[in-house]
Amino acid sequence: MKKDTIKIIFVAGARPNFVKIAPLIEVARKNSKIEYKLVHTGQHYDRTMSEVFFRELHIPLPDYNLHVGSKNNVLQTAEIMKKMHEVFLKERPDAVVVVGDTNSTLGGALSAAQLRIPVAHVEAGLRSFDMTMPEETNRKVTDHLADFLFVTEQNGVKNLLREGIARKKIHFVGNVMIDSLKKQKMKISHSGIAKKLGVRKKRYAVLTLHRPSNVDDTVQLNHFLTLFLEIQKKIKIVFPIHPRTKKQLLKTAGFDPARYPNLLLIDPLGYTEFLSLIKDSMFVMTDSGGLQEETTFLRVPCLTIRENTERPVTVEKGTNILCGRSKTKIMREVNAILEGKRKKGEIPPLWDGKSSQRVIRILAGN
C-alpha cells in the first residue's frame, strides 16, 4: 500500500487466531506508518479459550468486542458480519487483516469485501480438499475475497495458483504462529506443567480431539476410546479436553473413567503451559491443524487422527504422520515411537520467527 499512514483493523475471535494475531500487532505497533485497531469477535469467550491468551501473548485489550458467543456456524458468521459491518463503517480502515480459517476469519473478510475494503488473509492457501470441514469453506471463500494472500508453505502457493488467483496477490512469508512460539520459547521451557501434573518428561503422550467428525459421532468416538484404552496401557496419556469433546465423552456409554487409569483428563490449558506440555511429551495424537505445525517446529512426533491435512509440509518435511482413523495404523506408529523409531523431521522454509515482519512490511508498502 502506497500511503503515508494506513489504518489496519485486525480481526480475531478464536483461540488459534490469537496466537497468529499477537506477533502481527507487536510488529505493527512499532511501524510509524501504521495505525491499527483490534476487533475481538467473541467467538471464543471464556477464560481458557480467550482471556488467558491475551495475557500470556501480551495482546492489547481489543478496541471492539463483538460478543457474538456460541452459535452454529451460519448464525455465528452472520452475527460477525453484521457487527463487523458497523465497525468498518465507523472506522473506515485501509485494510482488514484476518487470520486462519475460523468463522471470525470468514465473517471479517465478507464484511470488508462488501464495503470494498482490501482484505489481507494470513495463512492463505491451505487446503484439506475435504469440503465436509467448515474450515475448508472458510479458507477457500476468504482466499478468493482477499487482496493480499500471505502463505505459510509452498503448497499454499500452488493451491492458490491452481484456483486462478493472480500471482501478484500471493506472498510466501512463512508461519506467523511460529513467531509466537519462538518468542515464548523460554517461558515454555520453564513452565513446569509436566511436574505439576505428575508426569515425567518424554514419558507421556498428549491427546487432543475436538473435530465434530471425530467426537460428535458416538460410533466414531467409541472407536477411538477402544484405541486409547490400549495405548494408555503402554504410556500415560494427558488429555486437555475441549468443552465440546468433554460434553460428548461424558454422555458416551462406552466411557468408564475407571477403565482408563493412565488417561489423565484435564481442563484446557493456556498457551504457555500447553506448548510446554507438548514440548516435553514423547509424542502427540491430535485432529488439530495448528498443532501439526507446532509439533514440527518443536521436533515432537505427531500422529494426526484425520484422513487429510491442510498442512502437508508438516508431513513432507516435519514430524507429522497422517494416520487417518485406522486403529491398526495409529497403533503401529505408537509402537514404533515407543521402540525409539521416531520421525525427526526438519523445520520448513521461512519458519524463522520473522513472518510477521514480512507481512507488515508488505502491507505498509516498505
Q: Is 210 a catalytic residue?
A: yes
Which residues pair with residue 12 across a beta bridge? 40
- The beta-carbon contacts of 290-293 under 8 Å, at least 24 apart in sequence, are 290/16, 290/19, 290/177, 291/208, 292/318, 292/320, 293/152, 293/175, 293/177, 293/178, 293/318, 293/351
484405541: which residue's cell? 227
CA distance 227 to 10: 41
Task: Indicate the DSSP class of residue 111.
Answer: H
Q: How does DSSP assign 216-258, residue by residue? A: T-HHHHHHHHHHHHHHTTTSEEEEE--HHHHHHHHT-TT--GG
Angle between helix axes 176-183 and 355-364 (nearest 10 degrees) is 130
Cα→Cα distances 8→18, 95, 110, 183, Å: 16, 5, 16, 23
Around Cβ 223, how many Cβ atoms within 10 Å? 14
Catalytic residue among 58, 67, 144, 210, which? 210
The answer to whether 359 and 150 are in contact (CB under 8 A) is yes
Q: Which residues are known catalytic residues?
A: 210
